[in-house]
Structure 1
């Protein structure tokens, strides 16, 4: 009888243990939802980098914190996803003002890039966020510097050389304009003028000449050129570089008689008045050359007399 009672007691305890163990297992067992409900949205799992220039020849995953012109590059985002970005001027050089902004949409590969951007030299902060689908964690950011090489100064504008052709008439009364002076470069007429010419020219080699023939004057044969205040050089060719200033003169010398004889004579027709009652004069260019009561005579230089 005792053995039967013990067997019943052991069996009852086993049943109680099994029941409690099953209840425990059911309490901690996760429930598998097979109802087809909506999954959580993709996370904010992409990377954003600053890259120098307009694009990279191959995809770069490293950030470039010091740039001149640059673009913002996002990659490994879930596709499709989209969001925004902005750039603030940032201490110590900025005041947190938004200076650039835009939106982004990842392509099928999860990539997106901004256009080429440029900013004044200084410190900046890039902020970005994913808005579709909304991402946990909120806005992200990174800081970078813009530093461009200084623009070299523009080279000075070359100063065009200056050439003056000058006619000198030595003796006689012929005007300077009786001769035409010319300067040619590679067969092209550059300067020309009666009695002289002047102007700015391009650097190069110039051939100098004159035309015109006047009786009793030698034709000029060689120019005398003074360049940049230096010594005179006899040559009908001159080479000019930027900044040169040259004056080239050619002389025509009078070879005719250097004196002339002029006689002023007073004729009195009728009456008794003497010739000396009248004073006769000859002037040249306003200068009195001959004068005498009743007449005068003498050697004078060739020219026009009144």
Structure 2
């Protein structure tokens, strides 16, 4: 009877040990945490993983407090560089809650794999594969360009006309105007037409006619003054 009792007790102890072993292994130090890939714009309290990023950081959750972590990132197929080439490395000490994040970082567009190694690690490192693609973040629209243009045109044209009549009177008129082209025109036309010919119809003939008329007037005035002086002296 005592033998059966002892055998039953041993079986119970063995059963309890088998039932508690998996839970003890699951909560072993270092194995209960995880690391996530986050866009730089994602809050560090968000525990989702984002495998498609441009600028990004590494975010750790549920590790042991003050755990030491070393990490590195390798190029991964199908990116053209040789698989396994390390492109970034770093280390971080997690806070007392087993949480921590790295600084923001970038990589050339491609496929990569994160390896996360830590103190108390059981088995292989934590791993995450992800893509970087910054073409969508940069936008596909054309860059606005400022090309101010100013156009101004000033094309004053002056037209002048001069006319001299056979009676001895002369007139000159000028009228500036603005038009799309530039040019100048001058014409001289007699006030009375007829006879064998007229005055020369050129732009320079008008000043000649005016000067001739003024000269004739001066000569006449001079002759008048001479005659008057003679009469005064004789009287």
- Residues 36 and 60 of structure 2 are in contact (CA less than 8 Å); yes or no, is this contact kept in structure 1? yes
SS in 1 for 2:74: strand
Q: Larger helix proportion, structure 1 or 2?
A: 2
| 1:161 corresponds to | 150
Alignment of 1:183-262 (within 5 A): 216-220=173-177, 223-224=178-179, 248-249=180-181, 258=188
Q: Distance in 2 between matches of 1:55 and 1:114?
A: 13
TM-superposed CA distance for 1:73, in Å, is: 0.4
- Residues 127 and 140 of structure 1 are in contact (CA less than 8 Å); yes or no, is this contact kept in structure 2? yes
**TM superposition score normalised by structure 2:** 0.57
RMSD in angstroms over aligned alpha carbons? 3.7
| 2:52 corresponds to | 66
Q: For 1:220-272, what per-residue CA distance to the aligned partner results, in whole angstroms no more than 9, with x for missing partners?
A: 2xx44xxxxxxxxxxxxxxxxxxxxxxx5577765xx7169xxxxxxxxxxxx
| 2:30 corresponds to | 43
Alignment of 1:265-284 (within 5 A): none
SS in 1 for 2:113: strand
Q: Distance in 2 between matches of 1:165 and 1:60?
A: 67
Structure with greater contact order relative to length (CA < 8 Å, sep ≥ 6)? 2
Q: How many residues align?
A: 164
Q: In the alignment, is residue 136 of structure 1 matched against residue 147 of structure 2?
A: no
Gaps of 5+ in 2: 15-27, 163-171, 191-198, 208-235
Q: Distance in 2 between matches of 1:123 and 1:258?
A: 89
Q: Distance in 2 between matches of 1:92 and 1:166?
A: 68
Q: Larger strand proportion, structure 1 or 2?
A: 1
Q: In the alignment, is residue 299 of structure 1 matched against residue 182 of structure 2?
A: no
**TM superposition score normalised by structure 1:** 0.45
